[in-house]
Structures are given as C-alpha cells and as structure tokens.
Amino acid sequence: MSETGLKAIKAGRLIDGTGTAPVENATVIIEDAKIKAVGKNIKIPDKAQIIDATGKTVMPGMIDAHMHFWGTRADDTYGDEVARPMGVRLVKAVFDAKDFLKAGFTTVKDCGGMNGVFLKKAAQEGILDGVPRILASGVPLNPTSGNPYPYMPAEYVDARTSKLAGQQGGQAVLCDGVDECIKAVRYNLSQGADFIKIWGAGESKFNPDELKAIVQSAAELDKFVTIHCGSKRVAQSAIRAGIKTIDHAVDVDEETVEMGNKAGVIFVSTLVCMQSLVEYANKLIDPLHGPEWAQGMREKMSQSYRTIRKFGGILAIGTDAGGEKLVEKLGGSAAELELLMRFCDFTPAESIMAATKNAALACFMGDKTGTIEPGKFADIIVVDGDPLADIKVLQDKEKIKIVMLEGKVEIER
C-alpha cells in the first residue's frame, strides 16, 4: 500500500496521538511508507512533494479495535438479516471497508466472521484497494455450552458443520477440552486469521486450562487472543489466562483494572452500537436486544470505562459496528470518541489517544502505527477543523480532507 518518494506535510496543527499537547505549524517528513521526521523548523528535502495542510489538523489515522464486516444493514427486519445470502453480505462488506477508510480509519480489527479475512487477502493480493489495513479473527471460539445463539442447535452455529454461514449461523468454532481448543486455534489460523477471538458473554464458559491452551497455542504462532467480555468474572479469568485485550469490558471494577494494568491488558470500548440501538432501534430489528436492553448495557459499559480511566487502565476504542445504517445515523464509528466524552468523562485528547495510540496497542501494532513518530507507518489524516475543540468534526467525512495509509494518499477531498 506504499508509494515511493518523499513527502512533507506542512501542518497547521499537529496532534501526534501520544497525548502530548498539539504542536502548531509542525512539519511531517515521509519517506516511502514511513515517517522520517516530525517537528517544528524541520528542513524539507528539495525533492519532497509538499502537502499543504496549513490551517488544518494533522493527526494519526483512527483505528477501530473492535468491529465486524458482517455486511448487514440492520435497519431492516430481523428476518431479512438471518436470510440475507452470505455472498451479498461480502459484497456489502467491500463497500463498508471503503467507507471506513473514507471516514479516516486507517486500521480496523474485525472481531468475528470470515468476511474480514477475505477482504484482507484481497487487499494483500492487490485486487481490492481503497480499504484500511485489516486485522481479522476469523470465526470466534466457543465451547458447546457457551453457544452464542443458545436458541439454535450447535450444528447450525458451528462454522465447520453449518451450511448457513450468515450472521446467525456458522459464527463459532465450538470446542471442548484442551485438545479441541488447540485444534480450533490451529483451524482458525489455517483459515488466515490474524488473532483469535473468544466469545465470553456474561460467563466464562471455557475453564482455566482451556483458556490457557488457547492463549499458548496462539502465542506459539505469534498471535494474540481477544475476548468478548460481559462480566467481571470473564475479565478476570481472561487476564489470569494471559489474554491481552478485553473487549466490551462490561462490569470492570477497580480490582480488575489493577489486574489488567499488571498484566499489560488493553480494554476496548464499544458504546456506539449500544447508543445507535437506544436512539434508532425497534423490536423489528432485533427482538432479543431492543432499546431498553441497549440502554442498560450502555450504562454498564459507561461505568466500566469511567472506572478504567479513573484507575489508569488503557482503553482503546472499538464500536462493534458491522456497517449498519443505524451507526451511520449516529455519526459513524468516530462517534465512539464523542460518547467517551459524553458518558465516561474522557477529555478530547484522551478520546483521540484511545482511537490512535491505544487502539494500535489493542491491535498489537503499537510499534508500527497509532502515533505520528519517526519510524512508524505514515498512517495520517488531515482534518478541516480542530477535534480538540469539537470532537464531532471527526464524524463529518467531508472534513477528513486527506487519508494517507503507509505514505500513500488514498483519499483526497
């Protein structure tokens, strides 16, 4: 995704993503895919292409550390969502991926489903362009007793046996016992997964030995593990097992944050999907999870994220979005930053760091992206406005004037 040559961005205001104060009239020098130098009074190489961003904000590309390429439309009836063919979902996901990049998201972490794997491979082969960097988990792991759709037979849910690979079918690799868990990890990685996702919900259905086997098997191939966390019990079991990203992070308390800090854990927020259901959903969309349920869940999440912030935990933004029009109505994935400020006491700078530096950590790419520093990929956006003064400017795609991925200008308005 890189192009050769030198570039120099002359910024009106630089937010580097590290949490430090913005720098006025800074310059960013880019060589090929990476950042070469950053700061004030930097000499611009004679042959560099100059990108004039005076009067605008230059910042790292945003990162969504928990989303899905479901290819859904979630403003229609629940029955349509179940019946929509997987091929149609994949086509829709292509356009969803392009929309993420247009909105200033240069990296996304797909936490469940095969579409993300397919899109990633297509981009790597050069047959799909205009999409962000994609990390994909493939199909999440779950024990039989922890079926994420308990009203459906296991044969319908397991990706290896189900003939229906829609959102409600084929969405788990069911595994019981250490040996099956090891095999499930290897199955997912053989399918092209970048990391392993575990369904956790409100209870940790996997026992400690199973969790540790999953973590160890992934680590042997330099992969990490993410867990869907719906309770303190799940979070603490996961931390003890060596899982490094705790997604949704519902019911996290001070004790859990302290455990996480000692273990180097990153917690991941997902408010925007809940808020979209609160504001726009009805029972036709999802008869099991209506606005009342979503409001309660949003409040539980908000309390957890306030606790994580208060006790020094690392929080990255996710959205749990899957390309739904409901999320778009709310302002897209960048609305997560506004919601952290609205419900969780985050400052604008903290929200931006959650969407850049911390989100890169949640993708295990903190040494490669997430901040504008020498040696890192030139994943950069130019914003017409100041998100520190008005965080909602990041929700307006027309205000995202340039999106650069690995030194290549992918979007220019």
pLDDT digits (tens, 9 = 90+) for 4-45: 489 999 999 999 999 999 999 999 999 999 999 999 989 999
Q: 37 lies in which domain range? A: 6-60+372-412
Across 142-151, average pLDDT = 74
Domain count, the chain: 2
Asked, for residue 367, whether it belongs to a domain, the answer is: no
Q: Specify whether 233 is located in the same domain as 352.
A: yes
Do 90 and 19 fall within a single domain?
Answer: no
**1 falls within a domain:** no
Residue 390 lies in a domain: yes
Q: Does 30 lie in the same domain as 152?
A: no
pLDDT reported for residue 288 = 65
pLDDT at 75 over 80: no
For residues 201 and 172, membership in a common domain is answered with: yes
Report if residue 235 sits inside a domain.
yes
pLDDT of residue 34: 97
- What integer pLDDT is reported at residue 290 of this predicted model? 75
Q: Residues 49-62: what's their mean pLDDT?
A: 97
375-378: Cβ within 8 A, 24+ apart: 375/34, 375/35, 376/34, 376/35, 377/33, 377/34, 377/35, 377/405, 377/406, 377/407, 378/7, 378/28, 378/30, 378/33, 378/34, 378/35, 378/404, 378/406, 378/407
125 part of a folded domain: yes
Domain's final residue, options 337, 362, 387: 362
Together in a domain, 276 and 235 = yes
pLDDT tens string 186-216: 999 999 999 999 987 666 689 999 999 999 9
d(CA 30, CA 45): 10
> 3 falls in which pLDDT band (50, 70, 90)?
very low
> Is 0.85 topped by the overall pTM?
yes
Domain assignment present for 114: yes
* Residues 54 and 75 placed together within one structural domain of the fold: no
Copy the structure tokens of residue 285: 């969309």
Q: Which of 362, 385, 402 is the last residue of a domain?
A: 362
Residues 255 and 322 both lie in one domain: yes
CATH assignment of the domain containing 376: 2.30.40.10
Strands 23-24 vs 6-14: parallel, antiparallel or unpaired: antiparallel
160 and 188, same structural domain?
yes
Quickly tell me which residue has 């302002």 as its tokens: 331
Instruction: Round the average pLDDT of the chain to a whole number and report it.
Output: 91
CATH of the domain at 289: 3.20.20.140
* 160 and 266 assigned to the same domain: yes
User: Do 47 and 85 fall within a single domain?
Assistant: no
Token output for 138: 């493939």
Q: Are residues 90 and 238 in the same domain?
A: yes
Model confidence pLDDT, tens digit, residues 149-178: 666 677 777 888 876 655 555 678 999 999
Q: Specify the pLDDT at position 4.
A: 47
264 and 236 in one domain?
A: yes
**Structure-model confidence comparison of residues 200 and 304, the more confident one:** 304
